Amino acid sequence: MNKLINSPQTLLADALRGVAAAHGQLSVDFENRIVFSTAPREGRVALVSGGGSGHEPLHSGFVGAGMLDAACAGEIFTSPTPDQILAAATRVDTGAGVLFVVKNYTGDLLNFEMAAELAREQGIEVATVVVADDVAVEDSTWTAGRRGVGTTLILEKVAGAAAARGWSLEKVHGLAERTAHAGRSMGAALTSCTVPAVGRPSFDLPEGEMELGVGIHGEPGRKRVPVMSAAELSHALVESITTDYDLGGKPVIALLTGLGGTPLIELYAMFAEVSDRLNERNIKVARSLVGNYVTSLDMAGCSLTLVGVDDEILDLWDAPVNTPAIRWQD
């Protein structure tokens, strides 16, 4: 394992020090491992998210004006703890309430649920939206349900814009639910990732094979297949999503995220194919993002997210945002 770290034990703390050093518009609570926005939020709904670390820039990279107010960083691939989430909620609540954005993993659900109970006991109004958009997982009562992946970013952006416009908690929550329901993702891995504290790959993936429908912790998905070309993989990803979800002629926001170990040149080559597949299906790409946004340490591969949108969601997407990983003006 060759990693650019001091030690696995200090990696998270060191990374947070780096976030603080690099981004003056953020403030970092090192003890509680929370990244805060310094943007004014008086009288408006606050957005708090978080999860295991190792998926950067998710979530700390999305903290700032127009998006998240706080991100709680758990240990690598481990959800944050209830006291940590409570500390974030307590600090960002201005009386208008807090929206928790939670990805559908057992640990995240349990810890955010405990945090919500504790926050309500303190008189903080809390609403929770759960993102469960990964079509690689069969959504049934027999599994923990679908994982939350790329739709999380798109939801955090539009809900952040809505909060910045002064929407009520109920309205922001409604929008967040609507966005979560309209999003679907599917990914593929070309290598395993290596958790620093473990020091060896999480799973064994021989040369020439790939994992279709892999999760962002390296947990396998649908099946192992021979490595595909970008054209072949684009078919598989788009087909999986559109078979699962009828966009009903809506335009989409398309996110093609790398998983941490794939260069941009490959991601753009992949996005060209994805774009062709969507054109063939008359699916209009209204906005797109290509890059490393929801990653899995050093795993090679990519994940495609399509969120069906309307004019309101697009308008919120286009609203100004200033975070380390996403930044644009009117």
Partner 1 sequence: MSEALTIGALQQWLYRFASEITTQADWLTELDSAIGDADHGTNMVRGTAAVVTKLDGGATGTVQELLKAVGMTLVATVGGASGSLYGTFFIEMARNSPADVQLNGSELENALHAGVNGVIARGHATVGDKTMIDALEPAVTALSQSLADGQQLQCSIAAAAAAATTGRDSTKPLVARKGRASYLGERSAGHIDPGAASAAILLAALAASIGEGTA
**Residues in contact with partner 1 by the rule CB under 8 A:** 52, 74-84, 105-107, 110-111, 113-114, 136-138, 142-144, 147, 195, 197-198, 202-203, 215, 217-221
Closer residue to partner 1 in complex, CB, 64/196:
196
**Rounded least distance, CB 134 to partner 1, Å:** 9
59 among known catalytic residues: no
Q: Which member of 23, 59, 173, 217 is catalytic?
A: 217
Instruction: Give how far Cα 141 sits from Cα of 110, 163, 185, 243, Å.
Output: 17, 33, 20, 21
Select from 153, 50, 151 the least CA-distant residue to 92.
50
| 8 Å CB contact between 26 and 20 | yes
181 among known catalytic residues: no
| Rounded-to-integer distance, Cα 24 and Cα 38, Å | 9
What is the number of alpha carbons within 13 Å of residue 321 lying toward its C-beta? 27
Closer residue to partner 1 in complex, CB, 158/236:
236
214: phi then psi, degrees, rounded to nearest 5: -80, 155
| 8 Å CB contact between 80 and 73 | yes
**Rounded least distance, CB 283 to partner 1, Å:** 27
| Rounded-to-integer distance, Cα 130 and Cα 116, Å | 13
| 8 Å CB contact between 52 and 77 | yes
| Rounded-to-integer distance, Cα 20 and Cα 16, Å | 6
Strands 209-212 and 223-226 turn out to be antiparallel
Closer residue to partner 1 in complex, CB, 134/156:
134
Closer residue to partner 1 in complex, CB, 24/226:
226
Q: Which member of 23, 55, 59, 173 is catalytic?
A: 55
**Rounded least distance, CB 26 to partner 1, Å:** 22
| 8 Å CB contact between 60 and 73 | yes
**Rounded least distance, CB 194 to partner 1, Å:** 9
| Rounded-to-integer distance, Cα 230 and Cα 235, Å | 9
Closer residue to partner 1 in complex, CB, 28/149:
149
**Rounded least distance, CB 208 to partner 1, Å:** 20
Residues belonging to the active site: 55, 217
